[in-house]
Amino acid sequence: MKKGAQTKQQILEQATKLLQSQGYHATGIAQLAGEAPKGSLYFHFPGGKEEIAASAVRLSGERLASDLQLALSSCQDAGEALALVIDFLGQRLEESGYREGCPVATVALEVAHESEPIRMACADSFARWEEALRARLASLGISGERGESLAIFILSAIEGGLLLARARRSLEPLRVVAAQVRRLVAEPCS
């Protein structure tokens, strides 16, 4: 019971990292399996690579969602908190040699058209993050449709910033996004 779940978890752990940095198609089953023999892998994930990827994406999504919630609630100034979160993502990106960007985006773009389960796992992850943002904005008094729009916009900007930063091998886009987002949240009128 314990051993089994442990192996499964280890595979998922490995998968989240590999999918984040290499994407779906560049990551082979052997790599996903890591130490575990292929036979065990297909015991735990009868759905094969697709199932592993979907699970891994979900795991990444939940983790980042809870990190996000924690970070946003730990700082009184929401704009400040967002900027810190973005900086943190940028730091991780840089320290990994611009390999670890958004843990979901690459897979999402690669398989959006060929695997519904994975696509839905990605969409759910994005929805979770958006919801975390929306909730924090609501606590600032930015609620209703405006809150939702702002949450989507901020999430878009962050995802785009991570993408540009990776392609450029530079943190500048992320820094710009952080600054603009902070201002956006701080603005009383808009």
Q: Is 50 a binder of DNA (CB under 7 A)?
A: yes
Residue from 161, 171, 182, 185 touching its own copies (CB under 8 A): that is 161
* Cβ atoms within 10 Å, residue 128: 18
CA separation for the pair 36, 20 (Å, rounded): 20
Binding to its own copies by CB under 8 A, coded x per residue (else -) over 12-31, reads: ---------xxxxxx-----
Q: Closest separation between CB of residue 29 and DNA, Å? A: 3
Select the span of 4-12, 67-75, 108-116, 133-141 touching its own copies (CB under 8 A): 108-116
CA separation for the pair 76, 152 (Å, rounded): 21
Residues 63, 69, 75, 77, Cα dihedral to 10°: 130
Q: Is 144 a binder of DNA (CB under 7 A)?
A: no
Q: Is 88 a binder of DNA (CB under 7 A)?
A: no
CA nearest 86: which of 160, 167, 186, 188? Answer: 160
Q: Closest separation between CB of residue 151 and its own copies, Å? A: 9
Cα 41–chain centre separation: 24
CA separation for the pair 129, 46 (Å, rounded): 29
* DSSP assignments along 48-108, one per residue: HHHHHHHHHHHHHHHHHHHHHHHHHHT-SSHHHHHHHHHHHHHHHHHHTTS----TTHHHH
Considering CB distances under 5 to 8 angstroms, the limit depending on partner class, which of DNA, its own copies, none binds residue 69? Answer: none
Q: Is 183 a binder of its own copies (CB under 8 A)?
A: yes
Q: Is 49 a binder of DNA (CB under 7 A)?
A: yes
Q: Is 119 a binder of its own copies (CB under 8 A)?
A: yes
Binding to DNA by CB under 7 A, coded x per residue (else -) over 102-121, reads: --------------------
Q: Which residues bind its own copies (CB under 8 A)?
A: 21-26, 97-99, 101, 104-106, 108-110, 112-114, 119, 122-123, 126-127, 148-150, 152-153, 155-161, 163-164, 166-169, 172-173, 176-177, 179-180, 183, 187, 190
